[in-house]
Amino acid sequence: MGGTSVAALRGVSLAMKAGDFTAIMGPSGCGKSTLLQLCGAMDRADSGSLRLDGRDIASLNDNDLTRLRRERIGFVFQFFNLLPTLSVLENIAMPLLLARQPEGQAFDKARALAARVGIEHRLDHMPAQISGGEAQRAALARAVIHEPALLIADEPTGSLDSSNGQLVLQLFQELNRDLGIAILMATHDQSVAAIASRTIRMKDGLMIDSN
Ligand SMILES: Nc1ncnc2c1ncn2[C@@H]1O[C@H](COP(=O)(O)OP(=O)(O)O)[C@@H](O)[C@H]1O
Ligand SMILES: [Mg+2]
């Protein structure tokens, strides 16, 4: 940053298998989001190695990285990040449309998934017209519609009240169990981390504890 270099991560090692559910905990600024962005191939590390499906991500060019993200990774963010000018249905179907699946097929799948997360009555709404809990359920449906190997979630309940947070977490658990999608979730809330099968604690860019 400017003339100062900030070491966001100073040494992390993590392995996940299909179907794992791992929570990353630690205080603000410890490097959780940076780690998630690297694992999601949204950022490049200065050093170290990162493999997904046995492929070295660092060696991929931008086109291959884009395809990898589109096909193998799903993202859920704290503030939902739905596209404001698209309907809820279009938002959920977007990963399949980007992958050039036929529209009818993409929208059918989006409707089925919307029913599963309980927002089938909001499909024609715009993101600004639905509640935070509904928006996050739509974002979750969008994140898994292409059946990614890895779902990355950065503080996914951080802007929800506790009952909506619980509902969203329950859906994470179901999708992890039923679809076998590996989940890597950052949170600073112990009760959120408790639903994961494993918790890794970070401090100052380092992993300090894992169970
Ligand atoms: N783009 C950036 N430029 C400079 N420093 C950054 C940037 N992104 C993150 N950092 C710094 O890296 C560290 C880790 O940040 P982050 O991964 O966002 O932590 P967390 O998600 O755990 O709150 C913090 O000290 C933060 O200020
Ligand atoms: Mg963060």
How confident is residue 118, by pLDDT bands cut at 50, 70 and 90? very high
Nearest atom within ligand 1 for CA of residue 26: 22
At 32-52, the pLDDT tens digits run 999 999 999 988 888 999 999
Structure-token pair, residue 183:
């989940």
The answer to whether residue 16 sits within a structural domain is: no
d(CA 33, ligand 2 centre) in Å? 4
Please identify, by atom number, the ligand 1 atom nearest to the C-alpha of residue 30. Answer: 22
- Contact assessment for residue 191 and residue 16, using Cβ atoms and an 8 Å cutoff: no
Q: Nearest 5°: CA angle at 192, between 191 and 196? A: 110
Give CA–CA dist 167/8, Å, rounded: 32
Ligand 1: lining residues by beta carbon, under 6 Å: 1, 6, 8, 26, 28-34
In a domain, 50, yes or no: no
Probe target for ligand 1 pocket from 1, 32, 34, with the most ligand atoms within 8 Å of CB: 34
Confidence of residue 211 (pLDDT cuts 50, 70, 90): confident
Structural domains counted in the chain = 1
3 versus 184: the higher-pLDDT residue is 184
User: Does residue 30 lie in a domain region?
Assistant: yes
Which atom of ligand 1 is nearest to 155's Cα? 21
Mean pLDDT of the chain: 93
109 CA from centroid of ligand 1 (Å): 36
Q: How far is the CA of 64 from the centre of ligand 2 (A)?
A: 26
Residue 40 lies in a domain: yes
Q: Is it the case that residue 1 has pLDDT exceeding 80? A: no
Are the CB atoms for 209 and 30 separated by under 8 Å? no
Let me know if residue 15 belongs to a domain. Answer: no
Tell me the pLDDT tens digit for each residue of 76-99: 999 999 999 999 999 999 999 999
Full residue range of the structural domain in which residue 64 is found? 21-45+57-210
Residue whose CA is closest, atom 12 of ligand 1?
A: 8
In a domain, 101, yes or no: yes
The pTM of this model reads 0.93
In a domain, 205, yes or no: yes
pLDDT confidence of 21, banded at 50, 70, 90? very high
What angle in degrees, to the nearest 10, is found between the helix axes of 88-98 and 132-144?
20
How many angstroms separate the alpha carbon of residue 10 from the centre of ligand 1?
12
Q: For residue 76, with 0-12 CB atoms within 10 Å meaning exposed, 13-18 middle and 19 or more buried, which class applies?
A: buried
> Is 126 a domain residue?
yes
154-178 pLDDT per residue, tens: 999 999 999 999 999 999 999 999 9
CATH number assigned to the domain comprising residue 83: 3.40.50.300
